[in-house]
Amino acid sequence: MSMKPLFRFAIPDARLDRSADFHYNAFMFSPIEWHHGVVRMLDQTRLPHEVVWVDCPDHQTVAKGIRELWVRGAPAIGIAAAMGYALGAQAIRASTHDEFIRQLKPIHDTLAGTRPTAVNLFWALNRMNTIVQLHKDRPVEEIKKRLVQEAQAIHDQDIQRNVAMGRHGAELIQDGDTILTHCNTGALATGGHGTALGVIFSAWESGKRIKVLVDETRPVLQGARLTMWELQQNKIPATLITDNMAGSFMKKGTIRLCLVGADRIAANGDTANKIGTYSVAVLAKAHRIPFYIAAPTSTIDFSIASGDAIPIEERNPEEVTNVFGKVRISPTNVEVANPAFDVTPAKYITGIITEEGVFKPGELKRKLGGSNRP
Amino acid sequence: MSMKPLFRFAIPDARLDRSADFHYNAFMFSPIEWHHGVVRMLDQTRLPHEVVWVDCPDHQTVAKGIRELWVRGAPAIGIAAAMGYALGAQAIRASTHDEFIRQLKPIHDTLAGTRPTAVNLFWALNRMNTIVQLHKDRPVEEIKKRLVQEAQAIHDQDIQRNVAMGRHGAELIQDGDTILTHCNTGALATGGHGTALGVIFSAWESGKRIKVLVDETRPVLQGARLTMWELQQNKIPATLITDNMAGSFMKKGTIRLCLVGADRIAANGDTANKIGTYSVAVLAKAHRIPFYIAAPTSTIDFSIASGDAIPIEERNPEEVTNVFGKVRISPTNVEVANPAFDVTPAKYITGIITEEGVFKPGELKRKLGGSNRP
């Protein structure tokens, strides 16, 4: 594990040149990268107090990083899983294709078993499996190389999609808007630039004077720790609030629109996202405030008809009872519920911002159905 | 300041006998008492980890205790203010009535300046002023004695009212109910027994098998720290959730009714209560879940027509950014909003449970108007 006291940009310049879409700014970095044969990730549990990069030497460490939230956010989880798969593949010593594929299976399964809700994880692993299938008549060493390339392609494409998403979404934002956001959906949650927060970055860069109201997002405080940090780095005006203040600020007329990310979107537009998103959506509707989701099409799961079928991860109760793993806030031996996500029905969602454009929830299947297949 | 490692019951037995209404149980204690010429209060900021009693030797220390949340909860704030007033009066050295009354003024003002939202504070101080006025032709030493008696009467009556409120409210609770509550409204928030949590205690004691879902109540975590502690002490099944989970559990059908307290109720029934209450009320309405307020009539401010006129206290940003005053959860130098209360319009309130019975918000003025005058 390498400790580095200073923040480093993690997008190699070489990658910056590959996409015409790529609009570089001082804040566009990646929380994860393939780095000379290891997977380097920013340990986001230490933010905003410490900037610590972890070099994962094997796929088990990558899986641990996903489970323990060193890397989080649906798109970033997908990238991490792909890189973990590629990393695991490099370590396989196999003389035959069958042996290689047999040894890939537990690597896939370890990574697939880390977190159940974000569909990008499974989408990315499917892309990796497909590479193996497509090239099964090629030498094992070539497949290994192609797996690294595919993981990097998933990363690159995520950035390109986020920048495209930012361009589409920024059109919905007006000069002077105050935007409520929940959880963290910035560069930290993705391969770079971000989803919902990426839209905010794009709007800001285009010259719109906006303000952001940031839900702290209990229990893991991604809003307070990560979103406030990203907005502060980018000098975008932001105010931190506790989750339970959002309704009150809606009532006061402070908020012009709500903008959040997604962990899995069902075919009908029902959206699983960080716990608390559903409450924000219901409150927004009660106050006639537009409520938008921003997510790449890789987050849409057309195999699921509605949100009822999305598995919701129940996490460790200590996330609720111990802030930052340090300070206990409740008596000991209490019962705790800790669903990490909730599902917002499509009827509460004004629009879904993707790299392909902005769609009403009911339009997804007709306009995008199948476009996100690996 | 006296540190006592063990929890002590603070209601003298003598007081238990005074009210026929008083239904004693093992958990009925008071967080504040007049104790041999000092005001003794439980420092609730240390709960649930430490049980520390503080002896306040003067009214300034009582005022500090109110400001810094050693004692909190609208009814308990009223009792603390009355006791602080009586304590300040004892220390006055005055040869004339005029001099005595002149010296009472800054004591009143110091206590009145501690917290703006809970009307019980002003209601209790008015009762103390009235005692001085009623007995202005009596010797100063007699007035001092009557002020102590009045503070104790305010305390005693609060307990009696809470027990009556509990009896009325318990009729709304059915066997098997799961009840959502926000903040702390138990014995700790009052002279004893509690308001909304007192209703839950009364229902439990009457044999109804109930469960309580407890919002942690950021930023000061009164739900996680205090309500969970009180429910645990009383062996009532309780589950701790973060504030942003409430909507999701409503959607799942887990919650049969919501029950919260109040810091000030306007004549039309609009209710100021702990930040986050408004969101719970809007969510409850969206899910057709009954939403009740429990508060003594001393919390109703008939001088205010609607909730728009209720002053909302903005507290220190560090309550949001530093959990338990210890662990910082955000970057430094960020902007924070920290309104301690919000106002729930009457249209979201199913009923208001008082010691006089349960009323619809629109009935308050006709049925109770003026009944809470000192």
Average pLDDT over residues A104-111: 98
Which pLDDT score is estimated for A324? 84
Identity of the amino acid at A332:
T
User: Which comes out higher in pLDDT, residue B288 or A374?
Assistant: B288
For the domain that residue B153 is a member of, what is the CATH number?
Answer: 1.20.120.420
pLDDT, averaged across chain A: 91
- Answer yes or no: do B211 and B330 share one domain: yes
A202 and A154 in a single domain? The answer is no
Q: What is the pLDDT of residue A239?
A: 98
- To test the contact with chain B by mutation, choose from A182, A213, A245, A285 the residue with the greatest count of B C-beta atoms within 10 A, namely A245
Indicate yes or no: CB of B279 within 8 angstroms of CB of A278: no
pLDDT at A371: 57
Would B203 be classed as within a structural domain?
A: yes
Whether A1 is in a domain gets the answer no
B242/A242 Cβ within 8 A: no
Instruction: Please state, in angstroms and rounded to a whole number, the distance separating the CA atoms of residues B178 and A106.
Output: 43
> Do A218 and B242 count as a contact with CB atoms less than 8 A apart?
yes
Looking at chain A, the whole-number percentage of residues with pLDDT higher than 90 is 86
According to the model, what pLDDT value does residue B372 have? Answer: 56
Per-residue three-class SS string for chain A:
CCCCCCCCCCCCHHHHCCCCCCCCCCCCCCCEEEECCEEEEECHHHCCCCCCEEEECCHHHHHHHHHCCCCCCHHHHHHHHHHHHHHHHHCCCCCCHHHHHHHHHHHHHHHHCCCCCCCHHHHHHHHHHHHHHHCCCCCHHHHHHHHHHHHHHHHHHHHHHHHHHHHHHHCCCCCCCEEEECCCCCHHHCCCCCCHHHHHHHHHHCCCCCEEEEECCCCCCHHHHHHHHHHHHCCCCEEEECHHHHHHHHHCCCCCEEEECCCEEECCCCEEEECCHHHHHHHHHHCCCCEEEECCHHHEECCCCCHHHCCCCECCCHHHHEECCCEECCCCCCEECCECEEEECHHHCCEEEECCEEECHHHHHHHHCCCCCC
Q: Is B103 exposed, middle or buried (0-12, 13-18, 19+ CB in 10 A)?
A: middle
* Contact across the interface for B334 and A228, Cβ inside 8 Å: yes
Domain ends where: B145, B162, B179? B162
pLDDT bracket for residue A233 (50, 70, 90): confident
pTM, two decimal places: 0.92
Question: Do B249 and A337 lie within an 8 Å CB cutoff?
Answer: yes
Could you give the CA distance from residue A18 to residue A14 in angstroms, rounded to a whole number? 7
Chain B CB contacts of A229 under 8 Å are 330-331
Q: Which of B50, B229, B248 to mutate to test the interface with A (most CBs of A within 10 A)?
A: B248
User: Which are the catalytic amino acids of A?
Assistant: 263
Last residue of a domain, one of A108, A138, A162: A162
Which pLDDT belongs to residue A8?
35
Q: How confident is the model at residue A373 (pLDDT cuts 50, 70, 90)?
A: low
Same domain, B199 and B85: no
Same domain, B142 and B178: no
Asked if residue B359 belongs to a domain, the reply is yes
CATH code where residue A334 lies: 3.40.50.10470
Query: What per-residue confidence (pLDDT) applies to B81?
Result: 98
Specify the pLDDT at position A163.
95
Q: Are residues A144 and A219 in the same domain?
A: no
Nearest CA in chain B to A182: B244
Pick the closest to residue A65 from A42, A85, A35, A47 (CA basis): A42
- Among residues B158, B263, B270, B342, the one annotated as catalytic is B263
Using a CB-CB cut-off of 8 Å, the residues of chain A touching B249 are 337
B189 and B98 within one domain:
no
Supply the range of the domain harboring residue A30. 16-162
Determine phi and psi for B272, rounding to 5 degrees.
-85, 130
In this prediction, residues A218-227 reach a mean pLDDT of 97
pLDDT in tens, chain B (374 residues): 333 333 333 333 323 333 333 333 435 689 999 999 999 999 999 999 888 899 999 999 999 999 999 999 999 999 999 999 999 999 999 989 999 999 999 999 999 999 999 999 999 999 999 999 999 999 999 999 999 999 999 999 999 999 999 999 999 999 999 999 999 999 999 999 999 999 999 999 999 999 999 999 999 999 999 999 999 989 999 999 999 999 999 999 999 999 999 999 999 999 999 999 999 999 999 999 999 999 999 999 999 999 999 999 999 999 999 998 889 999 999 999 999 999 999 999 999 999 999 999 999 999 998 655 54
Of B219, B275, B331, nearest to A232 by CB-CB distance is: B331
Q: Is the pLDDT of residue A340 over 70?
A: yes
For residue A278, list chain B residues with Cβ-Cβ distance below 8 A. Answer: 247-248, 251
Over residues A24-65, the pLDDT tens digits come to 343 568 999 999 999 999 999 999 988 889 999 999 999 999
Residue A145 and residue A269 in one domain: no
Long-range Cβ contacts of B365-373 (<8 Å, 24+ apart)? B365/B267, B365/B268, B365/B302, B368/B297, B368/B300, B369/B267, B369/B302, B370/B302, B371/B297, B372/B123, B372/B297, B372/B298, B372/B300, B372/B302
Q: Which of B162, B185, B215 is the last residue before a domain boundary?
A: B162
Residue from the list A232, A248, A334 with its beta carbon closest to the beta carbon of B342: A248
State how many domains chain B has: 2
Tell me the nearest-neighbour CA distance from B263 into chain A, angstroms: 16
Residues B210 and B347 in one domain: yes
Q: Do A242 and B224 touch (CB under 8 A)?
A: no
Rounded to an integer, the average pLDDT of A347-355 is 98
The per-residue pLDDT for A235 is 92
Residue with the larger pLDDT of the pair A370 and A180: A180
Contact B252, B243 (CB under 8 A): no
Domain assignment present for residue B5? The answer is no
Based on the domain organization, do A138 and A123 belong to the same domain?
A: yes
Kindly determine whether residue B221 and residue A329, on different chains, have CB atoms separated by under 8 Å: yes
Question: Which of B244, B285, B289 best probes binding to A when mutated, by most A CB atoms within 10 angstroms?
Answer: B244
Do A119 and A180 reside in the same domain of the chain? no
Asked, for residue B267, whether it belongs to a domain, the answer is: yes
ipTM: 0.92
Same domain, yes or no, for B26 and B79?
Answer: yes
Residue of B nearest to A183 (CA): B244
Whether A2 is in a domain gets the answer no
